[in-house]
Structure 1
Amino acid sequence: MATSRRPGAGNSKKKGPSVGTGGHGRRRLEGKGPTPKAEDRPYHKAYKMKKAAERRNAARPKGAAERGPVRGHNRRGPGKTEDLVTGRNAVLESLRAGVPAKTLYVATRIEADDRIREILKLCAEGQVPVLEATKPELDRLTEDAVHQGVALQVPPYEYDDAEDLIGQVMATWQKDKSQRAPLIVALDGITDPRNLGAIIRSVSAFAGDAVVLPERRSTGVTATAWKTSAGAAARVPVAKATNLNRAVEKAKVAGFFVVGLDGGGDVELPQLDLATEPLIVVVGSEGKGLSRLITENCDQIVSIPIDSAMESLNASMAVGITLYEVARRRAR
């Protein structure tokens, strides 16, 4: 007798992939390729920002500042080649001095004062691209520096060769000795870029000719130095010496006198009779002071008379005071 079977019982077939098939059933699992960039996904905020920027730029008059989101710039990332000058005064002074700027970043809806208006005017005259950015973007771009809504991207500083520059300065003066004698400041182990920027500014203020840095164990002309110099870094040449001591020796052969600044000097600044001669002023770091070899090559070690309660002066302050005294004696 045949056994009755419920319709569909015992021979039902499951649809779709079964356990262990790896999806090779009716619904095959297929890869979708690499994930698109955020700015290429139509539903993403970055895509909408990019399209809005493209519409703004397409509609702007010819020669007007380009506007768009700032992204993808990392000051400390691999391959960093540019730096940023931040702050309204620093940016304005840099543009006035003719710094070879690459890009100006301006905060969205920035409150424009006279400085901002002049910054934008100088950028337009110099054909420097202007990009608009939100405050969070500027904060990230400047690594939370005090930017006041503006940041100027500048290329890496191009240093002169110290020995060549020293020779050129002396040769120029020897052709016309009726002009003031050459004045150069050399830094022996200064690692703070703010000190470098302040020293460059003092050299510019007191008619100095150049600043010389050693290639090793020294700061360079960074964005911080640019900002502290208030644009003077564009007017005063900065040179690097592979060996600072050798550069000093060659300068002496060329006709320079070399004085080192040190708290225990044998000559006090008001008695610096070499002030009117071709002069190289060497300043060391606050911690270690002048190196032994540099000290041995100095014609005089000069100290600045200060209250005995004070241990020492800041390097940039010591240079400023010294250059003022040199300028005063030369004017006399």
Structure 2
Amino acid sequence: MKDEKTNDICYGRNPVLTLLDVAPDRCHKILISESINKRLADEIYDKARRLSVPVSRVKQQALDRITDGASHQGVLAYTVKGKLGDLSQLLDKIFQAKDNALVIIADKIKDPHNLGAIIRSAEVFGALGVIFPKRNSAYPNSTVHKTSAGASLRIMTIAVSNLAKSIKELQEKGVWVVGLDHRAHRFIWDEPSLGGKLALVVGSEEAGISPIVAKTCDDIRSIPMLGKTGSLNASVAASIGMYEWLRCCNKGKSQKSR
């Protein structure tokens, strides 16, 4: 039986190692499979021992059962749910940023795999945080931790009651808010470019960006598509938008250095 102190799990090699590196206070206990390779087992034992986190060896089937057959890679941690970030903290980070700052707004992304993939890309491209609504959205959980390869434990994640209101607060801090919609006539590379302080909004595959959120955005852009599928996966679209932001930021730097 899971200890009442714990109310979440984190599984997979990278997510568990990241948990021990960046949020060890959230880790209550670690289970590793008897069949796990010795190098990984030793690495986990060494980290856990230094942090006084108990480790138990269990049969592979036990981890299969706990994770519902997910790809746990032979390691699982029982965790205390971490406190989500606060919008005011994110606004402070944006204020402290000199020229460029990226924020991702996930509008009703209900699939935790998609949210995890978005968070993974956000951390890779240097975003300061990921904002999502408290209702009708996936939350950072074991699936998100695994899909994001542990990035959800390193980047600020913020749940808000009203996305439109939060967007207005970002705009008041000088953040340009751009939504991604495949129906938009303007492309992501059109002027003005996506560099600087930017909040990129991505909606769900089913409904896209909600009308009230789209109305609050400063601009709506699309990603050109030549095929007949009609739309991109939300996490893929978000990644392309993030890359365009990073490209524009670096382009500006290269021009200044000439």
- How high is the TM-score relative to the length of structure 1? 0.70
Secondary structure of the corresponding residue to residue 9 of structure 2:
strand
Q: Which amino acid aligns with 1:235?
A: R
State how far apart, in whole Å, the 2-side matches of 1:272 and 1:320 are: 20
How far off is 1:207 after superposition?
1.0
**Residue type at the aligned position of 2:71:** V
Alpha-carbon offset, residue 225 of structure 1: 0.3
Aligned to 1:8: none
2:140 alignment partner, SS class: coil
> How far does residue 169 in structure 1 lie from its aligned partner after superposition?
2.3
Residue ranges of structure 2 left out of the alignment (5+ in a row): 252-258
Structure with the larger strand share: 2
Question: What is the identity, as a one-letter code, of the residue corresponding to 2:74?
Answer: G
Determine the structure 2 residue equivalent to 1:57. none
2:191 is aligned with 1:267: no
Kindly tell me: are residues 111 and 250 of structure 1, through their superposed partners in 2, closer, same or farther at Cα, counting changes over 3 Å?
closer
Code of the aligned partner of 2:126: A
**CA contact 2:188–2:194 (8 Å) conserved in 1:** no
Name the residue aligned to 1:188: 107
Query: How far is 1:274 from its partner?
Result: 4.1
Residues 87-129 of structure 1: per-residue CA shift (max 9 Å, x gap): 2343234334445321110123x24243332222211222211
After superposition, the C-alpha distances for 1:247-291 in whole angstroms (9 at most, x for unaligned) are: 111211221111000001132012252422211101100000011
User: Could you tell me whether the CA contact under 8 Å between 1:88 and 1:116 is conserved in 2?
Assistant: no
Deviation at 1:222, TM superposition (A): 0.5
* Counterpart among 67, 73, 86 of residue 11 in structure 2: 86
Alpha-carbon shift at residue 323 of structure 1 (Å): 0.6
Aligned to 1:34: none
User: Paired residue for 1:318, among 237, 242, 246?
Assistant: 237
Residue of 83, 94, 102 corresponding to 1:170: 94
- Is 1:102 equivalent to 2:21 in the alignment? no
Once structures 1 and 2 are overlaid, which stretch shifts more, 243-252 or 96-105?
Answer: 96-105
Tell me if structure 1 keeps the 8 A contact 2:90–2:128: no
Shift in Å at residue 146 of structure 1?
Answer: 2.4
Could you tell me which residue of structure 2 aligns to residue 124 of structure 1? 49
Out of 178, 192, 198, the residue aligned to residue 279 of structure 1 is: 198
2:248 paired residue number: 329
Letter in 2 for 1:103: K
Q: Which residue of 1 aligns with 2:81?
A: 156
The question of whether the paired residues in 1 share the 8 Å contact of 2:27 and 2:53 is answered with yes
Instruction: Output the aligned Cα RMSD.
Output: 2.0
Amino acid at match of 2:143: T
Instruction: Report deviation, 1:184.
Output: 0.3
Q: Report the equivalent of 2:59.
A: 134
Bigger RCO of structures 1 and 2 (CA < 8 A, at least 6 apart): 2
Cα 1:113–1:318, aligned 2, differ >3 Å: closer, same or farther?
A: farther
Partner of 2:189: helix, strand, or coil? helix
Q: Distance in 2 between matches of 1:131 and 1:87?
A: 16
State the alpha-carbon separation in 1 of the partners of residues 240 and 191 from structure 2.
Answer: 13
In the alignment, the residues of structure 1 paired with residue 222 and residue 36 of structure 2 have an alpha-carbon distance, to the nearest angstrom, of 47
Task: Say if 1:255 and 1:111 are closer, same or farther in 2 by CA, change over 3 A.
Answer: closer
Give the Cα–Cα distance (whole angstroms) in 1 for the partners of residues 5 and 105 of structure 2. Answer: 27
8 Å Cα contact 1:97-1:232 kept in structure 2 = no
Following superposition, the deviation at residue 301 of structure 1 comes to 0.6
CA contact (8 A) 1:266 1:300 kept: no
Correspondence for 1:232: 151
The yes-or-no answer on 1:203 pairing with 2:203 is no
Deviation string 1:177-232 (CA, Å, 9 cap, x unpaired) is: 3xx42210011110011111111111111111000011111110000001111111
Query: How far does the alpha carbon of each residue in 1:123-177 deviate from its partner, in whole angstroms, 9 at most, with x for none?
Result: 1222211022223322222222222321111221311222x1342123213xxx3
Radius of gyration: which is bigger? 1
Shift of 1:73: 2.2
Runs of 5+ in structure 1 lacking a partner?
Answer: 1-71
Distance, in Å, in 2 between the alignment partners of 1:272 and 1:157 is 40
Q: Number of aligned residue pairs: give it.
A: 250
Equivalent residue letter for 1:281: L
* 1:300 and 2:219 correspond: yes
Distance 1:158 1:264, change over 3 A: same
C-alpha separation between the residues in 1 aligned to 2:77 and 2:50?
15
